[in-house]
Amino acid sequence: MKKIKNKKKLGIWEFLNDQPKIQKPEFMIMMSVPLAVHKITGAINFPGDIPGISARARFIYTKSLSSGITFTIGFLADYLALIVAYETASVADRPGAFYEMNNKTQAILGIVQPLAEATPLRAIGILQSCGFNVIPAHGAHITEFDGVASASVRGAVDLITAGGPDSPHLHLWWVSADGIDWKIAAATNARKVTLTGFEHAKDMYFKSQLSIKDVLQPESNIITVLIN
């Protein structure tokens, strides 16, 4: 056998290049790219008038009843009873009736929201199956906002909205004593505001609205704050 002396040791690519009859292999690298999933949040969005509030609540009740989501026995029946109580309440009793109905609506959302978060690719469908609106993950306006009674100023409320940036947009802050009749309490360029002068130990209703170049955007959800 003939020996080949001083044969240069070839690397893998040099070896393949040295073989004229062997086709060079092609390598395909598969990369897994994670799917970007934004958190989707549900919103109730009660309007500011009695017929609208009633219709909105009944829509959520009807959709929830047929959604296929499991609620405890009697849960939705209790909700319907609260809707009827609100619809038939006297002027004096209506704020309390709205408070009870709104709390139950929030409880329904509290059941549905975790289900949506557990299945992000179906989140929108799950929330809408129970009649809730869907808050966008990003954009110029996000309807959700929140507020708490001020811990340092008696009769004051600290409000914040996630919708829109600060100036030049204008944020309108609405207040109501009964959830029916509304007035603008402040208009600011900031997304945070402290409103003062409210009666101690009284429930007050709040919502916000964004104005972009004098064009009003949809109103936010309504929240109830017990004043300190």
* 27 occurs within a structural domain: no
Q: Are residues 80 and 106 in the same domain?
A: yes
- Report the number of distinct structural domains present in the chain: 2
DSSP letter assigned to residue 122:
G
Neighbouring residues of 136: CB distance < 8 A, sequence distance ≥ 6? 142
Closest CA to 104 of 207, 220, 204, 224: 224
Residue 39 lies in a domain: no
Residue 42 within any structural domain of the chain: no
Burial class (CB in 10 A: 0-12, 13-18, 19+), 22: exposed
Residue 69 confidence (pLDDT): 93
Range of the domain at 179: 145-226
Same domain? 92 vs 151: no
pLDDT at residue 3 in the model = 53
Whether 125 shows a pLDDT value over 90: the answer reads no
How far, in Å, CA of 106 to CA of 223, rounded? 10
> Is pLDDT of 140 > 70?
no
Res. 139: pLDDT tops 80: no
Closest to 208 (Cα-Cα) out of 148, 154, 141: 141
Of 69, 101, 134, which residue constitutes the final position of a domain?
Answer: 134
Domain closes at, from 115, 134, 153: 134
Same domain? For 151 and 221 the reply is yes
- Nearest by Cα to 130 from 69, 55, 47, 220: 69
Decide if 26 is inside a domain: no
Over range 33-47, report the average pLDDT.
65
In a domain, 163, yes or no: yes
Output the domain CATH number for residue 173.
Answer: 2.60.40.10
Q: For residues 212 and 209, what is the distance between their CA atoms, to the nearest angstrom?
A: 10
Q: What is the mean pLDDT of residues 130-146?
A: 64
Alpha-helical regions (H) of 18-122: 50-65, 75-88, 94-118
Does the residue 218 lie in any domain?
A: yes
Residue 73 exposure: Cα atoms within 13 Å on the Cβ side: 0
Which tokens is 211 given?
């104005």
| pLDDT higher than 90, residue 157 | yes
Does 209 fall in a domain? yes
Q: Note the helical H segments in the chain.
A: 12-17, 50-65, 75-88, 94-118, 123-129
pTM of the full structure:
0.48
Please state, rounded to an integer, the average pLDDT across all residues of the chain: 79
207: exposed, middle or buried (Cβ count in 10 Å: 0-12, 13-18, 19+): buried
Does the pLDDT of residue 131 top 50, yes or no? Answer: yes
Q: Does residue 107 share a domain with residue 180?
A: no
Locus of tokens 């209790």: 78
The residue out of 65, 99, 134 marking a domain boundary is 134
Q: Residue range 70-83: average pLDDT?
A: 95
pLDDT per residue as tens digits for the range 94-111: 888 999 999 999 999 999
The percentage of residues in the chain with a pLDDT greater than 70, rounded to a whole number, is 75
Tell me which of 14-23, 73-82, 130-139 is least confident.
14-23
pLDDT level of residue 33 (50, 70, 90 thresholds): very low
Tens-digit pLDDT profile for residues 41-66: 888 888 878 888 899 999 999 999 99
